[in-house]
Homo-oligomer: A and B are copies of this chain.
Amino acid sequence: MSSTYGTVFKISTFGESHGPGIGVIIDGCPAGLAFDTDFIQQELTRRKPGQSRITTQRREADEFEVLSGVFEGQTQGTPIALLIRNTDQRSKDYGHIAQQFRPSHADYTYQVKYGSRDYRGGGRSSARETAARVAAGAVAKLLLRQQGVQIQAYVSQVGTLKLGKAYTEMNLALAEENAVRCPDPETAERMFQYIDDVRKQGDSVGGVVDCVATGVPVGWGEPVFDKLHAELGKAMLSINAVKGFEYGSGFAGVEQLGSTHNDEFYIEAGAGSEPGRVRTKTNQSGGIQGGISNGEDIYFRTAFKPVATIMQDQDSVDVNGDPVTVSGKGRHDPCVVPRAVPIVEAMAALVLADMYLRNKLARV
């Protein structure tokens, strides 16, 4: 039951890393949305493997087929099923782990929970599943664009190397112009070297992805349990390798006093005859108050651990409980954050699209 996300804009993903393919059903996308297949393909391409020497060398075209829900270029209000065939599985790379538990992978927990597991490439626990999220997230982005919402994520930290600039100080569009997806070109270059050095050592390293959503109107998000930031948090934490989430002032906000942390309101004068707009002087709230968007930029940060697969020997045990040495094989990213950028955006889009639709239900 846990491969489904969303309340109204609801997605169900399926597929294993080395099975016939992966895909997603979107059940709850409203009718009448122009279905831009080029855009969806472009988003998948941003996530696909083999983009540079610091990403996995698995070669997947990640082309998708629309199985249902679209007619004459428009969504029909019926389930949209998207299928991405797997084409470059090398399952034999995984024969050696059929009986072994790779450290800090899901091998052991899946085996105990389910009594068996598709060990080829991690099966369902593989990050390959996120391609389906990116496809669905692209549809969510199309819906959000109509509402004037834009989402942009970028890499703000690799290992100990931090970007050290607020998002407001940079042109975030530059993130797409380098392999690391850091909007500061100089830092991006240093991050690339950092990751490449780690790769050469057969090791891996963590990183942080920041994300900003602009244009979200006041009122999106639900009180109590489904607060906008709670759903964003769950969505981010559901991405493979994520260890932490914070929004607005985050963990650093803890150290402040209320008198400096509070975001005071003021009226921004409207242009011409337009009425003024309620704004906040600062934005420690990260655009969310009481779980509901307040019209300011929404921003948050997501921490990714070092990828568990490394090209080094590690101690472990096998399914019989005997000690073994696990050797790194397969094709993997030494650092997940460059390819995580579109995934973070996709999950943010899915949350926001759901909240946009749910907000239609707030008043009689």
Contact = CB atoms under 8 A, between A and B. Distances in A.
A56 B105 CA distance: 45
B203 A259 contact: yes
- What is the total number of copies of this protein in its complex? 4
A228 B27 CA distance: 18
A323 interface: yes
Given A2-B226, A16-B71, A361-B28, A246 B249 contact: no
Interface in A99-143: 101, 103-106, 108-110, 112-118, 123-125, 129, 143
Contact of A1 (B10, B265, B312): B10
Contacts of A87: none
A308 B219 CA distance: 20
Contact of A113 (B16, B68, B219): B219
Interface string A226-239: 11011101111110
Majority secondary structure of chain A interface residues (helix, strand, loop or mixed): mixed
A298 interface: no
A65 B10 contact: no
B363 A115 contact: yes
A271 interface: no
Given A23-B81, A116-B31, A243 B253 contact: yes
Contact of A317 (B15, B257, B278, B305): B278
Interface in A295-354: 303-310, 312, 314-317, 321-323
A60 to B, nearest CB: 16
Contacts of A236: 233
A280 B314 CA distance: 12
A364 B32 CA distance: 6
Contact of A79 (B3, B32, B106, B263): B3
B19 A68 contact: yes
Nearest to A15: B68
Interface stretch (A44-52, A178-186, A205-213): A205-213
Given A68-B124, A76-B114, 5 more contacts: A1-B28, A114-B362, A233-B233, A244-B250, A265-B316
26 contacts: A1-B222, A3-B27, A8-B361, A14-B79, A16-B68, A20-B65, A21-B68, A23-B67, A71-B117, A74-B116, A76-B124, A77-B363, A101-B265, A104-B285, A108-B218, A108-B265, A113-B292, A115-B363, A146-B364, A207-B254, A230-B235, A244-B250, A246-B251, A246-B303, A258-B309, A360-B360
